[in-house]
Amino acid sequence: MDSFLSLGQGFLVALEPSKLLFAAVGVLLGTAVGVLPGIGPALTVALLLPVTFKLDPTGSLIMFAGIYYGGMYGGSTTAILINAPGESASVATAIEGNKMAKAGRGGPALATSAIGSFVAGTIATIGLAFLAPWLVELAVNFGPWDYFALMVLAFVTVSATFGDSPLRGLTSLTIGLMLGLVGIDKLTGQARMAFGVPELFDGVEVTTLAVGLFAVGEALYVASRFKGNPEEIVPIRGSLWMTREDWRRSWKPWLRGAAFGFPIGALPAGGAEVPTFLSYVTEKKLSKHPEEFGHGAIEGVAGPEAANNASAAGTLVPLLTLGLPTSATAAIMLAGFQQYGLNPGPLLFTENPALVWGLVASLFIANAMLLVLNLPLVGLWVRLLAIPQPWLYAGILVFAAMGTVAAKPSVVEVGMLFVCGFLGLLMRRWDYPVAPMVVGLILGPMAEAQLRRAMQMTLGDPMVFFQNPGSATLLSLSAMALLAPFVMKGLSRFRTAED
Amino acid sequence: MSLLAKRRADKRALVVGLALFVFAALVWRDAAAQTLSATYGIGPAAMPYVVAVALATLGLGHIVVAFRDGLPVPEHADGVAIGWIALGLVALLLCIAFGAGFILATTILFAATARAFGRRALLVDAAIGLGLGVAIHLLFSKLLTLSLPAGPLERLF
């Protein structure tokens, strides 16, 4: 019952005209960046951090969440119409959706992804509203050792378990952790890794790293492979509406997609890629028309799209209740909370319920806005795709420069942007994941703080991590998640040797 | 793949491995230079030592990989395009360093990036960049009351 009451109060906050405006700006921006190739929600929020510094915290956070949801939505449009997934979670959609569009069924493909996203997003947000208070009650009893163990688990799953190569994922994460060391140590006031450069005393700016890796790195990478021929946009022919048959084939995949997306998003495993992929495979197995898969099966669009929106809501569960980001966008949203001096977690729910519940309520509103805005405006979004790539990436770099310079206008900062940009290029070329580095930079200092707090409380006895059931379980899970890919790789090698 | 090609070490993995060793050494040296420690628990040097060991381990992993499968081979890269963007970013750096202002910086950055993507109309692109720079400057100074680095162009407004 508490959830209903709090949520009701949240709606009172979220329905204020100014908050509605923030939500609308967020979903429009989010859809636009989701549609455009090369920029995703993580980068957009990172660019907006310095810009929103002086704005109202609740409004800005509502806008960030709108960008997150909108980005998930917009990615599907690109995937369906030009077969270039705007973000990695739309890869599954691109397979079937683009085939549908080429067969003249682009309208129903867009419709099933939009309605599916709405259905799944709403279910997942209800899940968030009811799971969050329960998790908060649990989290109140968490000690610093539990938080530390939770963060270790997040490190491992974000970098090692779901990437192509655990070695490269862990390398990316560890360099992020190293960058997180830079700056004044909060407990003793000593400078670490600053090498006497005063600009480094405050640490490495999250905006600079994220913008460098995501925006500059991506622009350099695309430019280095640019052949000059624009992608072919499949025009939308025929009706936007779904037939009775389409509805019949879509509603179950929506629900199953939500069932995959929300729990997996809520686990400290993060990412929307796993649930979308699982949903695609499941729909293919359960479908009565398995032969259509690969040639434009509507189930293959409905399921993964629902899953990816549900996972976005799922990701907010650990972020809001534990302060634990499990995706790059969530990590940067955490930085957004921190810039207002807010720390997500159980305390935030009691200290600032208006903000937390306003944010949750705004998610329902954002979802509804996306449904209402997206289908009628699809023509506008398609026109965004027609922006010539040279201007698109030039614009992205100008905004990247703006975000960095607005955060800290110094030569050192621009120099770091330069270095991070080339690092991003190299990582893309040599197939290192970028997100773990950002997570490492944001979460690393928090993990260290929890570790030192734990060790202070036990006067330096490390056994506390193993004597405490919570942290012991989480740490053994992390160890398993860390070793699993190596063991499985070894197993598969045995198998190929036997064949 | 021929046996000979497989036996040669992958240079890129070796370079990454060596870079990781250098990072590890840097972090370790910096941690060792910490003079203050904590009265209870662990001090500011503990986490850096952990990170240094992790970096060294990963460096070792890269050396092993270098003699096995190596890193994935990337596609051919267009160095000229990368150079144009680098030029734009250097211009941004110099504009900030010598107080030429944000608008001029965006103009050059926009034109150089568009050039990297194969556009030949430098003047048109510079004009678009100028317009974008002015718009961002006005948005920041008038609407958001935030300041961007100012130069001669910004003082006109």
| Nearest-neighbour CA in chain A from B156: distance (Å) | 19
Same-domain status, B31 and B95: no
| Nearest-neighbour CA in chain A from B58: distance (Å) | 6
* Domain enclosing residue B20, as ranges: 3-67
Cα B13 from Cα A165, distance rounded (Å): 13
- A456: CB partners within 8 A, 6+ apart: B38, B40, B41
- Percent of chain B surpassing pLDDT 90: 39
pLDDT higher than 70, residue A128: yes
Cα A471 from Cα A52, distance rounded (Å): 37
Same-domain status, B62 and B85: no
Same-domain status, B93 and B59: no
- Percent of chain A surpassing pLDDT 90: 14
pLDDT of res. A21? 92
pLDDT of res. A497? 41
**Which residue in the set B12, B79, B129 is minimally distant from A398, CB to CB?**
B129
Average pLDDT, chain A: 84
Same-domain status, B83 and B125: yes
Same-domain status, B150 and B87: yes
Same-domain status, B93 and B139: yes
The residues in B 14-53 lying below 8 A from A, measured between CB atoms, are 16, 20, 23, 26-27, 30-31, 34-38, 40-44, 46-48, 51
pTM above 0.95, yes or no: no
Which residues in chain B are closer than 8 Å to A457, comparing Cβ atoms? 41
Average pLDDT over residues A98-127: 87
Does residue B7 sit within a domain? yes
Q: Note whether B42 contacts A405, CB cutoff 8 Å.
A: no
- pLDDT range class, residue A228, cuts 50, 70, 90: low
Element counts in chain A: helices (H) and strands (E): 22, 2
**Which residue in the set B61, B110, B111 is minimally distant from A167, CB to CB?**
B61
Query: Does residue B149 come out as left (phi exceeding 0), alpha (psi in the -120 to 50 range) or beta?
Result: beta
Same-domain status, B84 and B58: no
The answer, for B137 touching chain A at a CB cutoff of 8 Å, is no
* pLDDT tens digits for range A258-304: 888 888 888 876 567 778 888 888 888 888 877 777 777 888 888 88
Q: What is the CA radius of gyration of chain B?
A: 24
Which is more confidently placed, B8 or A321? Answer: A321
- pLDDT range class, residue A351, cuts 50, 70, 90: confident
pLDDT of res. A330? 87
pLDDT higher than 80, residue A390: yes
Query: Which one of B39, B67, B95 terminates a domain?
Result: B67
CA A232 from chain centre, in angstroms, equals: 28
pLDDT of res. A8? 87
CA distances from A390 to A18, A230, A401 (A): 36, 10, 17
Total domains, chain A: 1
* pLDDT tens digits for range A211-223: 898 889 988 988 8
Cα A72 from Cα A30, distance rounded (Å): 8
Burial of A255 (0-12, 13-18, 19+ CB in 10 A): middle
Q: Note whether B78 contacts A389, CB cutoff 8 Å.
A: no
Average pLDDT over residues A79-100: 75
Which residues in chain B are closer than 8 Å to A182, comparing Cβ atoms? none
Cα A349 from Cα A317, distance rounded (Å): 12
CA distances from B30 to A457, B24, B49 (A): 27, 10, 9
* pLDDT tens digits for range A152-180: 988 888 887 656 688 899 999 999 999 99
Question: Concatenated DSSP letters for A195-245?
Answer: TT-GGGTT---HHHHHIIIIIIHHHHHHHHT--SPPPPPPPP-S-SSPPHH
The residues in B 90-109 lying below 8 A from A, measured between CB atoms, are 90, 92-93, 96-97, 102, 105-106, 109
The ipTM assigned to this model is 0.89
* pLDDT tens digits for range A451-479: 988 888 888 788 888 888 888 988 998 88
Angle at which helices A411-429 and A217-224 pack, to 10 degrees?
Answer: 50
* pLDDT tens digits for range B106-128: 999 999 999 998 888 888 889 99
* pLDDT tens digits for range B45-93: 888 999 999 999 999 999 998 888 778 888 888 888 999 999 999 999 9
Which is more confidently placed, A127 or A408? Answer: A127
Cα A131 from Cα A293, distance rounded (Å): 35
**Which residue in the set B44, B84, B86 is minimally distant from A185, CB to CB?**
B44
pLDDT of res. A87? 61
CA distances from A482 to A139, A160, A169, A178, A179 (A): 25, 6, 11, 19, 22
Q: Note whether B125 contacts A394, CB cutoff 8 Å.
A: yes
Q: Note whether B136 contacts A430, CB cutoff 8 Å.
A: no
Chain B residue nearest residue A431, CA to CA: B72
* Domain enclosing residue A487, as ranges: 2-498
pLDDT of res. A174? 95
Total domains, chain B: 2
Instruction: Single out the residue of A218, A209, A221 nearest to residue A403, CA to CA.
Output: A209
DSSP annotation of B139 reads I
- A75: CB partners within 8 A, 6+ apart: A34, A35, A40, A85, A86, A87, A89, A90, A93, A308
The residues in B 58-77 lying below 8 A from A, measured between CB atoms, are 58, 61-62, 65, 71-72, 74-75, 77
